Structure 1
């Protein structure tokens, strides 16, 4: 029995009837989505072999199973960040487990810094591409026959269109742009932010890209959102900190989660 199969079986011991088709990973500011899950089953990560221990403030470290609208969902409240240990494969087993349970679509969320003046704190952005600045991959050691994953349509165009339509339905502005993965955990310098803008990034954060690579490798469609919590270093006078990120994220979390629930309902 592989560790992945063991984790999936442990999930089914807690929720025998679970048949999720949509998996969601909640980043900072997105935790309120769990309040919209009907008849939830909550499983702490420590009860699932190979799931990450939550070490980041604002990440509860639980897997939620239930329904949002007509869809069965599996919601990870918290993720493993590569900057915690230096390991970029920390989300590999959880995502493989969710796929084993039946999830074919993955929705990723994060808090990010803006590199655009027209996208201030409080904005929401749907990712249409990313830049892997760290040039690290969770596919080291993958089978030779599968490791060369096509990332041309990493963020599914059809799902993005549904997200943009959902934003119009709920009456919120949804920007579209390129996400830069910065390894962290230190925040970026103003010089780095200037470089990122030149390279074509619209937002910068410390997650999401490893999960996207893993999901595409195992055949899941990906949709991803950033909740903008600050301007990039040097673009404003605000002092950057994780506490500031959480404060700004919580200020707009209701809108973010209302949008996310509408997107899930449209799938």
Structure 2
């Protein structure tokens, strides 16, 4: 999407916002409940916002919510867009560009993911240390607009080390055990085969999903600091002898929502915006 479209969407939102957001949130399948915790909320259906796509996936409410969460000004995507829905990579990442235009410095991105690491269990929360883009595409392909970011952005620290350390401290404070690992993004919408999961484990993947990586690439290109959290909603194909369903994803995220809410709210409340890692 071009800079004109980004500015038009941001201008529409700014007309209805009283404060500049400092933290952006992208809430994945079954995790949109966090947006319900925002105080003094101002909500926008995606279809109301100029140039925004619309979310078509069950478990994604399809609105942008701005307000105060744990004393911080936030703007949250209650549901995201996916490449498998037929959107371009530029459409998938358009909300990241708009949130940057609105003034955010930091992005917390969440998802539901399948566990590749055999030591994981459904219901675990995993901090994303790094990712593997296995989608065969990239949101930065095409002409680069220098005002949006460098032609060749550095991805060696896409997930901010200070934020990761901070999240570990928050987990310890509330008595929550969290995992760390590498997130692999596939296009979907079909779940992986057992052979594909064995391949991804060999590649170094710990969890697999169908989102997040395009948004993180766009965030890195935009100079945003990123923290990524995966909810391990099920073990991936071939690990347990059971079929995979989207209903299972939603059921698991519903069961862990209390831990998820406590964890992310503690992170947001004390997130060190200024100190870069």
User: Please, what TM-score do these two structures have when normalized by structure 2?
Assistant: 0.93
- What is the distance in 2 between the residues matched to 1:93 and 1:209? 13
Aligned match of 1:177 in 174, 181, 186?
A: 181
Residue 104 of structure 1 is matched in structure 2 by 105
For 1:217, which of 221, 236, 240 is the aligned residue? 221
The alignment status of 1:168 with 2:165, answered yes or no, reads no
Unaligned runs of 5+ residues in structure 1 are: none
Question: Which one of the candidate residues 255, 258, 263 is aligned to 2:262?
Answer: 258
Tell me what 2:198 maps to: 194
Provide the residue aligned with 2:76 in structure 1: 75
In 2: Cα distance, 1:23 partner to 1:266 partner: 15
Distance 1:229 1:77, change over 3 A: same
Counterpart contact for 1:29–1:227, Cα < 8 Å: no
Select which of 13, 16, 40 maps to 1:14.
16
Give the Cα separation in 1 of the matches to 2:257 and 2:88: 29
- Alpha-carbon contact 1:18-1:65 (below 8 Å) kept: no
1:117 is displaced (CA, Å) by 2.2
Equivalent pairs counted in the alignment come to 266
Find the counterpart in structure 2 of residue 230 from structure 1. Answer: 234
Report the alpha carbon displacement of residue 244 of structure 1 after superposing the two structures with TM. 1.4
- TM-score, scaled relative to structure 1: 0.96
Q: How far did residue 86 of structure 1 move? A: 5.3
Aligned partners of 1:260, 1:19: CA distance in 2, in Å?
20
Q: Deviations over 1:106-146 (max 9, x none)?
A: 11000000012221000000000001112310001242862
Q: Which residue of 1 aligns with 2:274?
A: none
The 3-state SS of whatever aligns with 1:89 is helix
Give the 4+ runs in structure 1 shifted more than 3 A.
none
User: CA–CA distance in 2 between the matches of 1:134 and 1:123?
Assistant: 24
Match of 1:41 in 2: 42
2:122 matched to which residue of 1? 121
In structure 2, list runs of 5 or more residues that go unmatched: 272-277
Task: Tell me, in whole angstroms, the C-alpha distance in 2 between the residues paired with 1:266 and 1:24.
Answer: 15
- Provide the aligned C-alpha RMSD in A: 1.3
